[in-house]
Amino acid sequence: MKTTLTVLLIMELCGLSSGLKQHFYVNEEKKWLCAYHHCRNYFHALSTFTTANEEERFLANATSQTSDAWVGLHRKPKTEVWKWLADIDAEQISWDTDPTMTQPNNITNQNCGFLHKDHKKLHDERCTMRKPFFCMTDFVLVHQNKTWDGALEYCRTHYNDLASLSTTERMNSALLEVTQAETEYVWTGLRYLAGDWFWVSGDGPDYTAWYQNKEPQCPARDLRCGALDKTTRLWTHRNCEKKLNFFCQ
Ligand SMILES: *[C@@H]1O[C@H](CO)[C@@H](O)[C@H](O)[C@H]1NC(C)=O
Ligand SMILES: *[C@@H]1O[C@H](CO)[C@@H](O)[C@H](O)[C@H]1NC(C)=O
Ligand SMILES: *[C@@H]1O[C@H](CO)[C@@H](O)[C@H](O)[C@H]1NC(C)=O
């Protein structure tokens, strides 16, 4: 584990991959658990920021916040242990230290965390309150040129999978990053097999963004891999053997 982290860190430093969580304010009031599911369905997760660096970047993306908003911080019921989602122990939490409302302030039943609209600091609150929330995506643009199969193997080794741009929200987030690609097209986890296009991650086919809104029917044998086109900002099918930058998630 430690080795993997070191290797990833070195790769980041050498500029071989760039991936930053992108945070989005969702202005719909939901209970914490419903917000959690909303983020998983449309983005990747409720927002987390586990280091000072990540917190700084989160706050830079949090400027559109117009109300107190949930983040992916919660307390294991009946314990004193706060966790970020993905079971990460929250070691340093920027609780609000304002003397009129020092946080956390209710050990008995406030088990979820939100970001205070004005103070930009964390508060504990009952999870059943309804609030807007922050969701994040976690795409990594890998600045290496690989075939589609090579990209798939790389993503599954170092991250989870080749990226699915399977909702408007995920697509918009990928479009923010694709401008930094060195190749005109960037591989995604879109593949044509047995008569259909599908996401290798298993995501559903509801959202599409094909060029001219036309899904390629019966593509030639060598044009069965899906990429994001930097210029049209839409999906396109390319020769799977082409070596391109790619998105992992
Ligand atoms: C988040 O901040 C980064 C860096 O300042 C910026 O490039 C990106 O567009 C922002 N994303 C959102 C969703 O605001
Ligand atoms: C903490 O929660 C208890 C139980 O719901 C409630 O009676 C009390 O007023 C709360 N205290 C604060 C400071 O919110
Ligand atoms: C990948 O290909 C692009 C376009 O051909 C090129 O500019 C870039 O330097 C290549 N990147 C690497 C890491 O080889």
Is position 5 within any domain? no
Query: What is the atom index within ligand 2 of the atom nearest the CA of 105?
Result: 13
Q: Count how many residues are written for the chain.
A: 249
Is position 143 within any domain? yes
Nearest CA to ligand 1 atom 12: 61
Q: Do 149 and 68 fall within a single domain? A: no
Has residue 13 got a pLDDT over 50? no
Is position 159 within any domain? yes
Q: Do 57 and 100 fall within a single domain? A: yes
Residue in 79, 128, 44, 100 with CA at minimum distance from that of residue 114? 128
Q: Do 163 and 93 fall within a single domain? A: no
Q: Do 147 and 218 fall within a single domain? A: yes
What is the tens place of the pLDDT at every residue in 26-81?
Answer: 999 999 999 999 999 999 999 999 999 999 999 998 888 999 999 999 998 777 88
From CA 166, how far away is CA 118, in angstroms rounded? Answer: 34
**Residue span of the structural domain in which 186 resides:** 139-248
Number of domains, the chain? 2
* The last residue of a domain, from among 135, 162, 181: 135
Nearest CA to ligand 1 atom 14: 61
Judge contact between 231 and 184, C-beta under 8 A: yes
Q: Do 57 and 74 fall within a single domain? A: yes
pLDDT above 90 coverage of the chain, percent: 74
Is position 4 within any domain? no
Q: Is the CB of 106 under 6 A from ligand 2?
A: yes
The answer to whether the bond into 104 is cis (omega within 30° of 0) is: yes
Provide the whole-model pTM: 0.88
Q: State the pLDDT at residue 189.
A: 98
Query: What is the atom index within ligand 2 of the atom nearest the CA of 107?
Result: 1
Q: State the pLDDT at residue 2.
A: 47
From CA 21, how far away is CA 115, in angstroms rounded? Answer: 17
Q: Supply the CATH number for residue 218's domain.
A: 3.10.100.10
Is position 6 within any domain? no
Q: Do 23 and 126 fall within a single domain? A: yes
